[in-house]
Amino acid sequence: MASYCGATASTGSGGVASSSHCCSISRLISSNCRSNHLLFTTAAGFRKRQFYVRSEAKPELKDAVTVKQGDASGIEKSKSNAEAVARRIKYHAEFTPSFSPEGFDLPKAYYATAQSIRDSLISNWNATYEMYERMNTKQAYYLSMEFLQGRALLNAIGNLELTGAYGKALTKLGHKLEDVVSQEPDAALGNGGLGRLASCFLDSLATLNYPVWGYGLRYKYGLFKQLITKEGQEEVAETWLEMGNPWEIVRNDISYPVKFYGKVVTGSDGKRRWIGGEDIVAVANDVPIPGYKTKTTINLRLWDTKVPPADFDLAAFNSGDHTKACESQANAEKICYILYPGDDSLEGKTLRLKQQYTLCSASLQDIITRFEKRSGENVTWKEFPEKVAVQMNDTHPTLCIPELMRILMDVKGISWKEAWDITQRTVAYTNHTVLPEALEKWSLELMQKLLPRHVEIIEMIDEELVNGIVSKFGKSDLELLEKKLNAMRILENVELPASIAELFIKPEETSAIDTSEVAKVSNKDSVVDEEDESVESNEEEEAELQPVPIPPKLVRMANLCVVGGHVVNGVAEIHSEIVKQDVFNDFYKFWPDKFQNKTNGVTPRRWISYCNPDLSKIITKWTGGDDWVLNTEKLAELRKFADNEDLQSEWRAAKRINKLKVASFLKEKTGYAVSPDAMFDIQVKRIHEYKRQLLNILGIVYRYKMMKEMTATERKEKFTPRVCIFGGKAFATYAQAKRIVKLITDVGVTVNNDPDIGDLLKVVFVPDYNVSVAELLIPASELSQHISTAGMEASGTSNMKFSMNGCILIGTLDGANVEIREEVGEDNFFLFGARAHEIAGLRKERAEGKFVPDPRFEEVKEYVRSGVFGSYDYDELIGSLEGNEGFGRGDYFLVGKDFPSYIECQEKVDEAYRDQKRWTRMSILNSAGSYKFSSDRTIHEYARDIWNIQPLELP
């Protein structure tokens, strides 16, 4: 196996300068996967780069940690030795290529600390990989467009049980651990819950010793960095890679060709081949993911994109046409520039589809290469599903299905029947949404142009599905059959196969009347029409002449996921029922055994132990040990002490410490001073109409309006002091969401500067919300809002994090709220709003003009329109809550319907908070009841029920 230093030395910013040192640390993971010919000959070779160090900068090697190849004992012995850790940090500080040799400031300290930790990770990482290879066990692969990792340093040293040693070592070097940790930028590889869930899963997979890898894309800029200005939200490019990423290792020897465009031809052997077009190369970047209190370290492989050097047009460059010379390089690199590029334009849609295919193609080629390597000389393809499980996180990786089929048939020479059986037994799909716009549909025309061979395969899958539907339902009830085909087909607005289409052709009516007589009558009638033509007939004629718009031909990706996979799972009990009874009801009736529920979870390591150390110490004390971090069932022990005054006193003290941290943070980031004595009321998540930040801010406007109508004494008696905190990003092209952000910030400016109100009410929008901000806000939270329209939030995971940290939720019966309320107790959850089964009827009532809004809701709308919060025109935003139906109107998300229930529930919140003993008891019972929502439990269920994999623990 090749040495690790070869790959590292070529990384530049991420590598270790001394090849001899890095060779001594460990060996290269999967170094044998050097060549691959799944599409065509790999064009990406690489040359090892040597680094030369000036003699005066030469370190004292006796201080370095030296480990024999394949032996981690030196690192193990240094774990509790702060002196040894300090020497390792100093070593990397001296040889870190991204920083000049002078000084040891915080950025350099962070980078050197991270690299020293990476040494430990690589040792365990290689041992993990080698065990997987040796055991040839079944391995799962988790494909996701997002991995919202957050900062890695504190998580890594915590999982490796090195927090104490690193804290002491950095103190010796003149820095505090928390200051060094704060230097790490959040990896901009995700947006919200989808990516954060994927990252929680990786932590649990490593902790539980399951053989699973993650696959994603290495976005250069991620989504965007959010600025809050007088105009509202503004977006700028994220700079998370500006100083390099010390956690990743570029694998220049692991690269795969990816093709776009071109054409499909039939060879002399009768096989279909995809030729020509645009060729790029996907290069692996590996990020080690350590488990907690285990040596198991799994891999997150992120793909970057480039072109072979041969594609650089040197002649064009030398002739002065620099743009043309770099065109192919630019086209390749932009695939991994940003997460979710705007898709209003054809170019944007094309780029998104390229991203999705790159993830699927590169990952599957890598998976297949590893399968073949493990199989040796005798590759038995029917055993592929017994060694490989592929999980598609939402519909973004749907192209895994036709891509796996293409490779098996066109490259490996397997028959359609066998390839389809292998694919269906390998792939599984997690559904994350019931929103129609989020169930992806791609233009068939665009896909035909970009991925012509895949469209052929999708058409064949669709035809097989159509034949299966006809076989199941028969031809006797054509109306039922047509309904089933319309609902279940993968191709939308595409002609049925001829043999099926003819079933629905109605025979033309024939008449016994002589056609010549008909012609005479017809001519006579036409003369009369010319003489007596009316305006009405003219209008009818013109209407008949208007061309009927041709609906676009589309590929329904969610349907393809259901058809091509062996399991479809929802992510909360109520969501999974909606998936079965509504979203995919026809499929559920067709394949009932395919559908499962896997309620989401979050890792208790990051979301209690590391982000809330003060509360963690209390939990450890009262539950009798720290094993709750691995076995969250132990949290239920807190129930026995919920009324204990000593516990309550300690619990409140921990909460106050966290609130003081947040108050300081808000002052620094926003300029607003808030009182730690007020209730901290928080809603942080992606800004979207269905998540109803609008309901929250209108409730605050109502509260403010009521306050302004009272005397100071009345205000103090009526209202509990609150700090209302918002955070989250509105997608750059989502105008209504950006209007909501603008309203929140405008309300904040007015309320926070009103001397009549003072500390009784504050409204703060935290800019650029991310994982690190969440780790600060969630431990300080006292009330958290999860108020989506019932039936529209698949699960949510932030609700779980808040509950774990002793925060009480106000919410609807939506997503995981339902299960959280069951676990923590109905008395410890503030419930309001319509139920999921009522929503369709309420929308129908609205469309029929029968809805009568609450007078308080009408007052609030007019108050916003009055200009009290500034001169911005809110007619578009408030107008969306009015009317009965129509795009952007008719209050589709039922803000007006739930408003009365919401503000009345908020009055109950105020009342409960005044009784601090009662509130603290509720807080303790929320933490105690959150044990179910550990991602460890979720991962055990995936491993058992979907992937059929077993844990493998390093000795």
Q: Which residues are catalytic?
A: 432, 685-686, 691, 797, 801
- Length reported for the chain: 955
761-766 sheet: strands from edge to edge: 761-766, 722-727, 679-684, 783-786, 808-811, 830-831
CB 43 within 8 A of CB 142: no
> Of the candidates 497, 467, 499, which has an alpha carbon nearest to the alpha carbon of residue 484?
467
Which residues have CB under 8 Å from 621's CB, separation 6+? 650
Amino acid letter at 727? G
Query: Tokens representing 304?
Result: 């970057």
Instruction: Take residue 615 and report the two structure tokens written for it.
Output: 């509360």
For 84, the token pair is: 């040894």
Query: Which regions of 399-448 does DSSP assign to beta strands (E)?
Result: 427-430, 441-443
> Exposure of 110 by Cβ count < 10 A (0-12 exposed, 13-18 middle, 19+ buried)?
buried
Beta strand segments in 119-191, E? 139-143
| Pairing mode, strands 212-217 and 249-260 | unpaired
- Radius of gyration of the CA atoms of the chain, in A: 31
CA distance linking residue 725 with residue 748, whole number of Å: 10
Closest CA to 140 of 934, 950, 955: 950
Q: Minimal CA–CA distance to 25: which of 66, 58, 73?
A: 66
DSSP state at residue 209: T
The one-letter amino acid at 204: S
Question: Within 10 A of 322 (CB to CB), how many other CB atoms are there?
Answer: 12
The distance from CA 6 to its chain's CA centroid, rounded to whole angstroms, is 33
Question: Which of 133, 178, 171, 188 is closest to 153 using CA atoms?
Answer: 178
CA–CA gap between residue 598 and residue 618 (Å, rounded) = 31
Residue with the two structure tokens 């040192």: 21
CA 634, CA 620: separation in Å to the nearest integer?
10
The number of angstroms, rounded, from the C-alpha of 148 to the middle of its chain's C-alpha atoms is: 7
Q: Which residues contact 641 (CB under 8 A, 6 or more apart)?
A: 622, 647, 924
Amino acid at 486: N
The conformation of residue 437, written as its DSSP 8-state character, comes to G
The DSSP bridge pattern shows strands 783-786 and 679-684 to be parallel
Judge contact between 653 and 617, C-beta under 8 A.
no
Residue type, position 895, single letter: V
Distance CA 408, CA 111 (A): 43
* Planar angle of CA 393, 395, 400, nearest 5 degrees: 85
Name the residue among 834, 831, 876, 830 with its Cα closest to residue 851: 834
Considering only CA atoms, which of 879, 728, 713, 724 is closest in space to residue 796?
A: 728
CA distances from 412 to 402, 409, 592 (A): 14, 6, 33
Rounded to an integer, what distance in angstroms lies between the CA atom of residue 563 and that of residue 664? 52
In angstroms, the CA 118 to CA 131 distance is 20
What burial class does residue 357 get, using C-beta atoms within 10 Å of its C-beta: 0-12 exposed, 13-18 middle, 19+ buried?
buried
Give the DSSP letter string of 773-794: HHHHHHHH-SEEEE-PPTT---
318: exposed, middle or buried (Cβ count in 10 Å: 0-12, 13-18, 19+): exposed
